[in-house]
Amino acid sequence: RNMSSAGPEGRKKMRECDGLIDSLLYYIQGTIADHEPNDKATENCVCILHNLSYQLEIELPESYAQSIYMQRRNISSNDKTPGCFGTRSRKVKEKQQDIPLPEEKSNPRGVESLWHSTLIRIYLSLIARSTRTYTQEASLGALQNLTAGTGPMPFAVARTVVQKANGLPSIRTMLHVSNPTVKKTAVSLLRNLSRNTSLQSDIAREVLPDLVSILPESVPAPDIVCETTASICYTLYNLTQSNSHNARLLLSADGLPKIITISMIDSNMFSKASRAASVLLYSLWSHTDLHSAYKK
């Protein structure tokens, strides 16, 4: 577990170690089957897999990286639309999200298992069943790692989490736990998931009211709460930016007063959350059909 957090070279060596990832996966599958998700060794195994999933797409073996690169290059060469501030256009982003991964193997081995749907379902099972804080955090964190970035892998994993494995109910539960680190990681995962336009309706329907409910009513003190608040605002921004229905859902959940309060906080400590809330407010105002509802 300590070695897996030693940096990129350490991660590379451990991913390449014959049988290591398969053994960790085998052990976790056994404890889940035996209804023992709170086993200490399971926690260690999940924490190792969490660390090995960090920057996975960037550090993939060349054969996988080349395949993904060629898919991305084909899209970018066909649609060269820089957009404002050097960002890709929405159309190009949506096309990129639909690029398939190299075909998923029915019996993955080694590093292939790290993004396979089997392990994704295991993480979701541990989130739902384990009461160990570190196991929950590591499972959420692994999914957060796998859904980070803009390549085909993060979006394929996101679709598996939301649509194929029905993972949102388990993630939603983690929004209401008392541990701030687990809550922060759950919100960060949802922020990653919400970048996928094809999943935004599902995510908003399932968790948008919960995200609004955990926004603070006043200025929170701990840094981790400030970071979580900023991440919630950016998740809500993703969900509402181009969807008037989702913006109306935020309004009906009484989110607007909270967001206004957060945006008006003049504090260096809370500036990240304040900026995020301001960005969200600006985006909400772009829905002109809701102006009368906002004013009420």
Q: How many CB atoms lie within 10 A of CB 113?
A: 19
Domain assignment of residue 29, given as a range: 3-165
- The answer to whether the CB of 210 falls within 8 A of the CB of 175 is yes
Confirm whether 233 is domain-assigned: no
Asked whether 248 and 290 are in contact (CB, 8 A), the reply is: yes
Read off the pLDDT band of 127 (50, 70, 90): very high
pTM of the predicted protein model: 0.87
On whether residue 204 sits in a domain, the answer given is no
State both tokens at 276: 């995020």
Q: How far is CA 58 from the centre of its chain?
A: 17
Domain assignment of residue 28, yes or no: yes
Residue 205, C-beta contacts closer than 8 angstroms, at least 6 positions apart = none
Whether the Cβ atoms of residue 72 and residue 96 lie closer than 8 Å to each other = yes
Average pLDDT over residues 149-167: 91
Based on the structure, what is the number of domains in the chain? 1
Could you read off the pLDDT of 69-125 as tens digits, one per residue? 454 445 444 444 333 333 344 554 555 455 555 566 677 888 989 999 999 999 999
What does the pLDDT average to over 163-173?
Answer: 97
| Run of H or E residues at 42 | helix 40-52
Q: What's the confidence (pLDDT) of residue 272?
A: 87
Q: What is the mean pLDDT of residues 264-272?
A: 73
How much is the average pLDDT of 181-201? 97
pLDDT value for 64 = 64
Judged by average pLDDT, the poorest of 33-37, 48-52, 73-77, 131-135 is 73-77
Tell me how far apart the alpha carbons of residues 90 and 97 are, in angstroms, rounded to a whole number.
Answer: 11
Domain assignment present for 92: yes
Residue 72 lies in a domain: yes
Mean pLDDT of 234-240: 96
The answer to whether 49 and 143 are in contact (CB under 8 A) is no
Check whether 143 has a pLDDT greater than 90: yes
Instruction: Give pLDDT, residue 292.
Output: 81
**Mean pLDDT value of segment 198-223:** 89
* pLDDT at residue 174 is higher than 80: yes
Share of the chain above pLDDT 70, in %: 82
Candidates 193, 176, 270; CA nearest to 227 is: 270
Q: What confidence category does residue 33 fall into, taking pLDDT thresholds of 50, 70 and 90? A: very high
For position 268, what pLDDT does the model report? 64
What is the DSSP-derived secondary structure letter of residue 264? T
At 222 the pLDDT is 73
Is 69 a member of any domain?
yes
Query: Does the pLDDT at position 263 exceed 80?
Result: yes
What confidence score (pLDDT) does residue 78 get?
42
**Any idea what the CATH number is for the domain that residue 42 is in?**
1.25.10.10
Best CA proximity match to 228, nearest among 241, 246, 216: 216
Query: How confident is the model at residue 219, as a pLDDT?
Result: 63
Higher pLDDT among residues 212 and 71, named by residue: 212
**Average pLDDT, stretch 51-69?**
75
Any domain includes 252: no
52 occurs within a structural domain: yes
Predicted local confidence at residue 220, as pLDDT: 59
Share of the chain above pLDDT 90, in %: 64
Rounded-to-integer distance, Cα 198 and Cα 92, Å:
13
SS (H, E, C) 116-176: CHHHHHHHHHHHHHCCCHHHHHHHHHHHHHHCCCCCHHHHHHHHHHHHHCCCHHHHHHHCC
- Mean pLDDT value across residues 57-76: 59
